[in-house]
C-alpha cells in the first residue's frame, strides 16, 4: 500500500494519557478540574433533546455573536469556530503553508505544530528559547519560504508569556502571519485580541478546553480580521462543529463572571503549588497558565512521574532533546494538589533526594 511520502515519514503526535474516569487524579493534560457552569449544562441538555436529525449551523452563528459580545470584538465576522483549537491550527497551516514551504515555532512548545507541517508536506523550523524562556531575535527574521509563525502564549510547557509589545514588534518584522495561540490566555494578565484589530497579520486562537472546563466537547475558535476568516471558511469542513458543542460554547460565552471566579481560584492554587514545590527544592518557572513547569537539580523526573502514576496521580513527564526534561503539573482542586504534593515528597524520600530541612508534609 502506497501512502504519501509525508505521511510515511512523519511521527504521530502523542496526546496526554487519558485513563478511565474516576481512577486517577488527572493533572497531566491541563484540564479544568471544576465542572462547567450550570447554564452550559442546561444548554447541552436542551440541545440533546432538539432536532439532532438536522445538520447544525455550518458557521456556528450563535456562538460567533456571543463570542464577539463577550470579547469586545467589532462583530461575529471576526470569529471562526472549530472542532477544538487544534482544527483551527490545522486550517491555518493548510491555508498558508504549501508543500515544501515552512512554518516556524519556538522550542520547547506545542509539538502538534510540527505534526501539522508534516501532514502538509511542509517544513518546520524550531527556534530554541533563550534562558529564561525568552525569544531570541532570530525568531522574527524573515525567509522567502517562511509562510506562517506559530507562537503559543502562554507557552507550554513553561507557562511563560511574551509581552504584547514584543508580539507587535515581531509582527512588524515578519512578512507572514503571526498566530498567537492563546489556549491559556484566560489565566494570564494580558492577551492579544486588541492587536488583531490593528494588525491584519496577527491571528489569535482560543479554546474552551481549559478555562471554560469544556475539554470534552471539543470547541475552539480563531479571531482574525474578516477577510482572513472568509478565506479560511473555504477550507473548513462543511459542518465542523456539532449542534451540542455549539450550544455549549454559546452558553459558555455568557458565563464571564463564572470564568473570572474559577480563574482567580485556580491562579491562587497555582501560586500555592509553586511555593510548595520550591520549598521541596524544585526550580519552578513562574507560570501564567493553569499548570507549572518544574525541574529538580537532582533530576530523576521520570522516576517521580512513575512513582505518582503508581499512586494513581497523573502528571506529565516531558523530555525535550537538546533542552532537558522536567515535570508539567496541571492546576487541580486544592485537595488534588495537596495529594499530589504529598506523593511528590514521598517519591523524593523513596528516591533518596536531599530534602530541605523545612520540607513539611502537605
pLDDT (tens, 9 = 90+) of the chain, 362 residues, equals 877 777 777 777 777 777 777 789 999 999 999 999 999 999 999 999 999 999 999 999 999 999 999 999 999 999 999 999 999 999 999 999 999 999 999 999 999 999 999 999 999 999 999 989 999 999 999 999 999 999 999 999 999 999 999 999 999 999 999 999 999 999 999 999 999 999 999 999 999 999 999 999 999 999 999 999 999 999 999 999 999 999 999 999 999 999 999 999 999 999 999 999 999 999 999 999 999 999 999 999 999 999 999 999 999 999 999 999 999 999 999 999 999 999 999 999 999 998 887 654 44
Domain boundaries, the chain: 19-32+257-351, 38-255
CATH class of 38-255: alpha beta
* 330 closest CA partner among 33, 23, 110: 33
> How many angstroms separate the CA atoms of 231 and 89, rounded?
14
Query: Taking Cα atoms as reference points, which of 93, 85, 81, 68 lies closest to residue 30?
Result: 85
DSSP symbol at 137: G
Exposed/middle/buried for 321, CB within 10 Å: 0-12, 13-18, 19+? exposed
Please, are residues 220 and 209 in contact by the beta-carbon 8 Å criterion? Answer: yes
* Strand 313-314 with 25-26, pairing: parallel
pLDDT, residue 319, reads 96
Nearest CA to 87 out of 216, 205, 202 is that of: 205
Is the domain covering 19-32+257-351 a CATH 3.90.1150.10 domain?
yes
pLDDT of residue 81: 98
Count Cβ atoms within 10 A of the Cβ of residue 289 and give its class: 0-12 exposed, 13-18 middle, 19 or more buried: buried
Q: What is the pLDDT of residue 361?
A: 46
Instruction: State the pLDDT at residue 23.
Output: 82
Query: Which single residue is written with the C-alpha cell 462543511?
Result: 238
Q: What is the pTM assigned to this prediction?
A: 0.94
What's the N-to-C CA distance of the chain in angstroms?
56
Distance between CA atoms of residues 43 and 22, nearest Å: 25
- Report yes or no: 245 and 217 within 8 Å, Cβ to Cβ: yes
pLDDT at 362: 45
Amino acid at each position: 500500500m502506497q501512502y504519501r511520502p509525508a505521511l510515511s515519514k512523519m511521527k504521530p503526535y502523542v496526546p496526554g494519557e487519558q485513563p478511565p474516569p474516576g481512577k486517577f487524579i488527572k493533572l497531566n493534560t491541563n484540564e479544568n478540574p471544576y465542572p462547567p457552569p450550570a447554564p452550559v449544562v442546561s444548554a447541552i441538555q436542551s440541545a440533546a433533546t432538539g432536532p439532532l436529525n438536522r445538520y447544525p449551523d455550518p458557521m456556528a452563528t450563535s456562538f460567533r455573536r456571543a463570542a464577539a459580545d463577550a470579547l469586545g470584538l467589532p462583530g461575529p465576522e471576526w470569529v471562526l469556530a472549530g472542532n477544538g483549537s487544534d482544527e483551527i491550527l490545522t486550517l491555518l497551516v493548510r491555508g498558508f503553508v504549501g508543500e515544501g514551504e515552512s512554518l516556524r515555532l519556538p522550542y520547547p512548545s506545542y509539538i502538534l505544530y510540527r505534526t501539522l507541517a508534516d501532514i502538509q508536506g511542509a517544513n518546520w523550523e524550531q527556534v530554541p528559547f533563550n534562558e529564561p524562556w525568552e525569544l531570541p531575535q532570530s525568531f522574527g527574521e524573515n525567509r522567502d519560504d517562511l509562510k506562517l509563525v506559530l507562537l503559543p502564549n502562554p507557552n507550554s510547557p513553561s507557562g511563560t508569556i511574551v509581552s504584547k509589545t514584543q508580539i507587535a514588534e515581531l509582527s512588524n518584522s515578519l512578512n507572514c502571519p503571526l498566530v498567537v495561540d492563546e489556549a491559556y490566555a484566560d489565566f494570564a494578565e494580558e492577551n492579544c485580541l486588541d492587536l488583531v484589530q490593528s494588525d491584519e497579520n496577527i491571528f489569535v486562537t482560543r479554546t474552551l478546553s481549559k478555562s471554560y472546563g469544556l475539554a470534552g466537547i471539543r470547541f475552539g475558535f480563531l479571531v482574525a480580521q474578516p477577510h482572513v476568516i472568509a478565506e479560511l471558511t473555504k477550507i473548513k469542513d462543511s459542518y465542523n462543529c456539532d449542534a451540542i458543542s455549539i450550544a455549549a460554547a454559546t452558553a459558555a460565552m455568557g458565563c464571564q463572571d463564572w470564568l473570572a471566579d474559577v480563574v482567580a481560584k485556580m491562579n491562587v492554587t497555582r501560586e500555592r503549588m509553586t511555593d510548595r514545590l520550591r520549598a521541596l527544592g524544585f526550580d519552578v518557572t513562574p507560570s501564567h497558565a493553569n499548570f507549572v513547569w518544574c525541574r529538580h537539580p537532582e533530576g530523576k523526573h521520570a522516576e517521580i512521574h512513575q512513582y505518582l502514576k503508581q499512586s494513581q496521580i497523573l502528571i506529565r513527564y516531558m523530555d525535550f532533546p537538546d533542552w532537558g526534561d522536567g515535570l508539567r503539573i496541571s492546576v487541580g482542586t486544592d485537595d488534588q494538589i495537596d495529594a499530589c504534593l504529598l506523593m511528590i515528597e514521598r517519591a523524593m524520600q523513596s528516591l533518596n533526594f536531599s530534602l530541605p530541612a523545612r520540607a513539611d508534609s502537605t
